[in-house]
Amino acid sequence: MHLFKTIFTKNYHTLNNKSTGPLVSLLKSRSVIRFSGPDTIKFLQGLLTNDVKKFSELPSGTTSYLPTPNLPPVYVPPIYAAFLNPQGRFLYDLFLYRKPLGEEKLDGSGSGPGSDSGGDLELFADVDSSVLDELLLTFKRYRLRSKVEIDNVTEDFSCWQRFGGNLAEKSKGEEEPEAASVGWGPGVDHSAMSSSHGNDVGWQWFKDPRVDCLGLRGVFPSKETPPLVESDKETNELNYLLWRIENGVAEGSTEIPTGSSFSSLLRNLFHSLNVQLYWRHTGIIIF
């Protein structure tokens, strides 16, 4: 309790100070797994609470600007989903991401399709690290004869979150100031915006699929620093935990107990609200 109070008291003013801009945290409490193979969509569609079929479709939409090499002008956003047991009770939560396909982006020269076109679809998921082994075992138990590979790629990829500042107030049409300032004209340079949100192989920041106030989330190669990450804005993951608690959003099997039903989740929500009220008046977080 004292550890939380020390960290949160020191940094809470920064989380709510819009002039400092958003903060970013490496989420060490989350691990990354990869699903690949021709039956990936069918396999996950039958297990998760969200619609996974959209990952098998090319994103629709038109743009009025030139796409940035290696990044798609239109992308499929990630989804947040739960894995339930046969009785409909909670087991695990996860975020699913689909890396852009080769035909959705240009190569490094900007003259043609990406070099990684073709091949099987791959989906990446960030999951609770505390139940990683159990979750992998459960997925593989349900695989049966499905042609899908499930791999732990935590050493190769990491999960990050950008939050706080005025990030939650940005509309869909409003872009990052870092991107807006790049270009020749006074307006937003959409190509620069796309480049600032992603790296040179297609990994990029996405709007958190749960609620706007949580900011942006993404999976990036572990050996690289994600775009828009400044050394003085990187903060302890515990500050992201505070941000979620203040906004009433649970995450992971520690906060959403395994075997929870809808009624028990409602009780947890009311408990979370009471924790917020207590913290606002005392500055102490209780669990």
Reading the block at residue 267, the tokens are 């009780």
Q: What is the pLDDT of residue 26?
A: 96
As a whole number of angstroms, the distance between CA 231 and CA 95 comes to 26
The alpha-helical segments, DSSP class H, found in the chain are 2-15, 40-45, 132-143, 177-180, 190-197, 237-246, 252-255, 262-282
Answering whether pTM is above 0.75, one says: no
Q: What is the pLDDT of residue 269?
A: 54
Beta strands at 157-163 and 23-26: parallel, antiparallel or unpaired: antiparallel
Q: What is the pLDDT of residue 136?
A: 97
Contact 192, 52 (CB under 8 A): no
Per-residue pLDDT of the chain (287 residues; tens, 9 = 90+): 343 444 444 454 455 555 556 899 999 999 999 999 999 999 999 999 999 999 987 666 544 344 455 566 567 889 999 999 888 889 999 999 998 766 565 555 555 555 555 557 899 999 999 999 999 999 999 999 999 999 999 999 999 999 987 775 653 444 444 443 333 334 444 444 444 455 555 588 999 999 988 999 999 999 888 888 887 789 999 999 999 988 889 899 888 888 876 555 556 555 555 555 555 555 554 44
Reading the block at residue 264, the tokens are 């028990």
Strand partners, 204: 198
Burial of 138 by CB count in 10 Å (0-12 exposed, 13-18 middle, 19+ buried)? middle
Q: 237-246 vs 2-15: helix axis angle to the nearest 10? A: 80
As a whole number of angstroms, the distance between CA 260 and CA 174 comes to 38
Q: What is the pLDDT of residue 186?
A: 43
As a whole number of angstroms, the distance between CA 205 and CA 216 comes to 6
Reading the block at residue 184, the tokens are 């020749």
As a whole number of angstroms, the distance between CA 31 and CA 125 comes to 8
Residue 24 backbone class (left: φ over 0; alpha: ψ -120 to 50; beta: rest): beta
Superfamily of domain 24-230: Aminomethyltransferase beta-barrel domains (3.30.70.1400)
- Order of strands, sheet of 157-163, starting from the edge strand that comes earlier in the sequence: 23-26, 157-163, 216-221, 206-207
Contact 162, 20 (CB under 8 A): no
Dihedral sign for Cα 180, 206, 265, 283, please. negative
The length of the chain in residues reads: 287
User: Residue 154 contacts by C-beta under 8 Å, 6 or more apart in sequence?
Assistant: 31, 32, 33, 129, 132
Strand partners, 32: 126
Q: What is the pLDDT of residue 169?
A: 60
Contact 162, 240 (CB under 8 A): no
Reading the block at residue 244, the tokens are 């979620």
Contact 208, 214 (CB under 8 A): yes
Q: What is the pLDDT of residue 106?
A: 55
Which amino acid, residue 257?
A: P
Residue 101, phi then psi, degrees to nearest 5: -75, 160
Q: What is the dihedral of CA 179, 182, 185, 187, to 10 degrees?
A: 10
